[in-house]
Structure 1
């Protein structure tokens, strides 16, 4: 009986120490789930917005490779900057989504001790064809998020 009580006391005393590791793992899993959910919702916003815009020609864009949290944060930072251009006011919800994604990816990187550079600085420039710029930006974001969701396992590496 004394052995049983001793084992019970030890297991109760050790329980908080054992719980801290899974809690961090659960936090990382929850953050990854949140990031992928925002990316999926953003794609829904893009598809809905495309139904209200004039039909644009098929635009081919090269999507950067997704290597890990560092490249994802960097790419989302550039997309966020492009979405803050005056020509893309119509994309304010998508800009908010991308900005939120970038912040969550940056936070996840800090949690797992990845060193991410400062967010890229946006450049404001004039575009002679604002409708084309809007369509191009929307296509870039859509293609990147689709590729990102196919490579969401890269959220676990720096």
Structure 2
């Protein structure tokens, strides 16, 4: 009789820790991990796509500073818009990744009460040099995501 009572006691003591809902901190930590994972997966997609393309020209550009969630969300929105160029069907997976990443960053920012700007409007211009544009946008996204992963602590500030 003592064993069933002991098991019953242990189940009541251990159960609250096992069955509780995730806390806000757990949710934030999970979202940050998800953002980091998507960024890493997107970089793999970019490298895979680059191996299929002709040799890329050396392209120089400046990557925006990574300040916090507000700026990250804005920058990812701009990159998402650039990826939606009509001449870049090859970029559909990377565009989906960046769009998902932007949505998660926006959601995280709202969760931690950061001010969020309106999503940048898409400006899909007619590109006279689609191959150059393809290489440029891939380089921009890759550079930004590399920088984001190096500054992942910025995912914890507005």
TM bucket, shorter chain: 0.7 to 0.9
Aligned to 1:94: 94
User: When you count helix as a share of all residues, which structure comes out higher?
Assistant: 1
CA RMSD of aligned residues (A): 1.6
Does the aligned pair in 2 maintain the 1:61–1:140 contact within 8 Å?
yes
Aligned to 2:106: 106
1:135 aligns with 2:140: no
* SS of equivalent to 1:25: helix
TM-score, with length taken from structure 2: 0.86
Per-residue deviation, 1:49: 0.4
CA distance in 2, matches of 1:98, 1:124: 16
Per-residue deviation, 1:143: 0.3
4+ long deviations beyond 6 Å:
none
* SS of equivalent to 1:141: helix
How many residue pairs get aligned? The number is 142
Q: Structure 1 unaligned runs (5+)?
A: 1-11
Per-residue deviation, 1:124: 1.8
Does the aligned pair in 2 maintain the 1:68–1:154 contact within 8 Å?
yes
More deviation, 123-132/144-153: 123-132
| Alignment deviations for residues 121-155 of structure 1 (CA, whole Å, 9 cap, x no partner) | 01121121110011000100000000000001000
1:48 aligns with 2:48: yes
Residues 1-158 of structure 1 correspond to what in structure 2 (within 5 A)? 23-158=23-158
Per-residue deviation, 1:47: 0.3
Per-residue deviation, 1:119: 0.5
CA distance in 2, matches of 1:75, 1:101: 11
Q: Structure 2 unaligned runs (5+)?
A: 1-12
